[in-house]
Structures are given as structure tokens and as C-alpha cells.
Amino acid sequence: MFYALQTEKSSPHINDLLRCFQLHPYQQGEAMEFFYVLLDSLETSLKKSPLKNLIRDHYTWTFENYLECTYCKGSTSRQENVYAFSLDIEGTSSIEAAFLHYFEPEVLDGDNCFFCQHCCGRRKTFKGVRVVQLPYIATIGIKRFVFNLEDMKTEKLYHKVVFHEIIDMNQFISTGKIYSDDDTEEFSDTPAAMERREQQKRRFLLNGPYVYELYCIVAHQGRVDAGNYSAFIKCLRTKRWLQFDTMVSLATPQLILSTLGGTNQDPSAVCLYYRQLGESPQHNKIPISI
């Protein structure tokens, strides 16, 4: 099936894939759920191959959950590895703002004071998350489906959430900030716009190696109870965007921009895939026979 996806313009039959993952063709599910199912299956199938660490080496984010005493500055922490970063977007208008909100530490004070093992007392404490390691493929889930506690039902968030083609994450580990340029011709396929993006890459790389280029968008169009997923993928050779739905077709810059959201008619992005500029961690390890 994956060979057919690479070589054919029409959508392949997916019956074998559904059977492989024990999925029902009419069962609803979120794109990120299937992403985890797919990676778990690939890891299992690669366990005895030379590529057993392929998924881990490409997709792993490493986070540190910490508690920091404001009195003695002592801290405790534990690390956690994940293959995708899921962002809450409620009340935010960009992934940059959503990241900053996520990494803002929570203050434990008053009745919520934490007992510090270093200075042996109940102290005001910062509770938060830090990034320790960035992946080669940065998978960012956008949480457009949220549970409304008042109505006790799941709702979809349709508002516009801005993201960019090229992002600089060199300060991300220390500050939680990502940087990008506000380009009025974002996603444009004109030669001038493409050249500006190449200049942007070179400029960001002066800050360090953690510069990422968006190459895939998974978007959902419709309501919570009914809708359709489609994928938009940037061709590495032509640098133009393709839409993968029932057919493969060229995607206009306007269509790509619509995935930022804004109305209930837009195919709003629910998952973004960024690739770090440079060679893959496994570039020289993949056997020619694969």
C-alpha cells in the first residue's frame, strides 16, 4: 500500500491496512491516535532489523518534568520521551503562543505548597516542563477537539491558528520560544517566494542546527461527528505542495493557508510535521536493499 501511495495518483485500497491494525472502516478516530498506532506497529516490525532504532532516532522528543523550590532553589525532575507534542490551542492564535503557554510553570502555593526534600519544609514551588532533546522529525499535534465540561460533549475549535513553513528552534530548549518570519507570501510557490525561504533558512542556520521546515500537514474538514481527513505534503524536489485526498493533486497556496483555520468550512490543521534541515540520523545506516 505504501508503494502505491508513492507511485499512483489514485487512492489505493486500504483493506489490508485496516485488517493489520484491526480497524473498522466506519469507526471514527483522531489522526494522532492512528499516528501512534502506526509508529508502534512499525517499531514492533523493525525490532529484529538493522533499523530497529529508526523511529526512536527520528521522532523522539525528550522532556523533563520538574519541581523547583523557590526558597532553596533545589529541584527534583524526571525525564519522559514522546514521539509527538500535542498543543492546547484554546485561547491562542499561533503555535508559538501555545508553546509559551505550555512551558509557563505552574506556581504551587498556599494549600498546594510542596514539601521540599532539600530544605525540609513546605515551600512555594514551581512545577513545569523543560525540553531536553529535539527530534529530527518534529511532530506537533494541534488539539482542535476538546471536551466541554458544561455541555459534557466534545467540540471542535475552528479558530485560526498560525504556523509557519520555516521555524528556528535554537532557543527552544532554553526558553521554550520558536522564531519565524511573518511572510505575506507564506506557502507561495513563486520563484521569488521560494528564494526568500532559502535565504531565511541560511539566516536561521547561523543561530544553530535546530532549524525546521514544514513538509506535511494533516487537516480535518467537517464537524466532530462527521468529517474527512486529508494530507498536504511538500514535494522535496519541486518544493510545491500536493494534496492527498481521494486523488493526488497540486495544492494552491490559498488552500494551504486555509488549513490555519478560521471557519467551519476550512480543512483545519490537526497535525504538523517539521523536518530538521540536514541529513537524517539514519541517512548512512539504511541498507540499499530496503
Q: Kindly state the DSSP code that residue 223 receives in the 8-state scheme.
A: -
Residue type at 215 in one-letter notation: Y
Q: Is 290 part of any domain?
A: no
Q: What pLDDT, in 10s, does the model give residues 92-115?
A: 999 999 999 999 999 999 888 888
Q: Is 127 part of any domain?
A: yes
Q: Read out DSSP for 170-196?
A: TTHHHHS--B----TTTT--SHHHHHH
Domain with 67, as residue range(s), is: 2-276
DSSP H helices, the chain, are 2-7, 15-21, 31-45, 54-59, 95-103, 172-175, 191-205, 253-258
How many domains does the structure of the chain reveal?
1
Q: Is 287 part of any domain?
A: no
Q: Is 216 part of any domain?
A: yes
> What is the β-pairing status of strands 153-156 and 106-108?
unpaired
CB atoms within 10 A of CB 107: 13
Q: Is 142 part of any domain?
A: yes
Q: Check which CATH number belongs to the domain holding 197 and give it.
A: 3.90.70.10
The whole-model pTM stands at 0.87
Q: What pLDDT, in 10s, does the model give residues 117-164?
A: 889 889 999 999 999 999 999 999 999 998 888 888 889 999 999 999
State how far the Cα of 130 lies from the Cα of 105, in Å rounded to an integer: 9
Q: Which set of grid coordinates corresponds to residue 158?
A: 475552528
